[in-house]
Amino acid sequence: MKPFYLFALAALSFASCQNEKASTATINQKESDSLVLAQMISLREEAMIKKDAALVMPQFSENATWINSQGYFFEGKKELEKFHLMFTKNDSLDYYYEIGKPKIRFLDNNSALAYYSWKMFWFKKEHPADTTFKEIGLMTLSAQKQNEKWEWVAVTNQHTPWFYDSIEPVRIE
């Protein structure tokens, strides 16, 4: 009987080691993927600041959707590009843009949600000191990984009363 117990113990120990290695690999992959998604968001902020929609368009899948903060639904990469060009190529208005720290939530190895706060303060180009409209909101992006590449597949944007440097869950007591 003792050899059976020793064999069973060795098998359990081996399986535990394999599970630990797989778990560590999964954690490392999620950390790596989280960094990629955060960099994509950072590039989006850069694109908005530079008013260069071409920087951010490769991040979207061909059939991506976007619901903007006013509730308009845009479908397909070409429509998303037109939407971005509406404010980056505006003749009379300009803006200041800033985002908060993103929060990434993985649904599985190939699907994730990303959230971040944003603010966009609009002003007339001829009077940059006069802010004409302040928009503050929360962006929710759905990402999918295909062929080892992450892409945004759906975005929902909503106005919020405050800008959050980081997204923290609300607790009701």
- Which amino acid, one-letter code, is at 157? N
Question: In the chain, which residues have pLDDT < 50?
Answer: 9
Identify the pLDDT of residue 88.
Answer: 80
Three-state DSSP class for 140? strand
Identify the pLDDT of residue 26.
Answer: 65
Tell me how far apart the alpha carbons of residues 29 and 23 are, in angstroms, rounded to a whole number. Answer: 10
Query: Which CATH number is 2-159 given?
Result: 3.10.450.50
- pTM value? 0.81
Three-state DSSP class for 149? strand
Identify the pLDDT of residue 133.
Answer: 87
Is-contact 32 39, C-beta < 8 A? no
Identify the pLDDT of residue 1.
Answer: 52
Task: Please tell me what DSSP assigns to residue 146.
Answer: E
Tell me how far apart the alpha carbons of residues 161 and 138 are, in angstroms, rounded to a whole number. Answer: 10
Tell me how far apart the alpha carbons of residues 32 and 28 are, in angstroms, rounded to a whole number. Answer: 6
| Residue whose C-alpha is closest to residue 163's, from 138, 142, 146, 143 | 138
Identify the pLDDT of residue 37.
Answer: 98
Identify the pLDDT of residue 6.
Answer: 52
Identify the pLDDT of residue 11.
Answer: 54
**Where are the domains positioned within the chain?**
2-159
Identify the pLDDT of residue 87.
Answer: 78
As given in the structure block, the two tokens for residue 60 are 């979207």
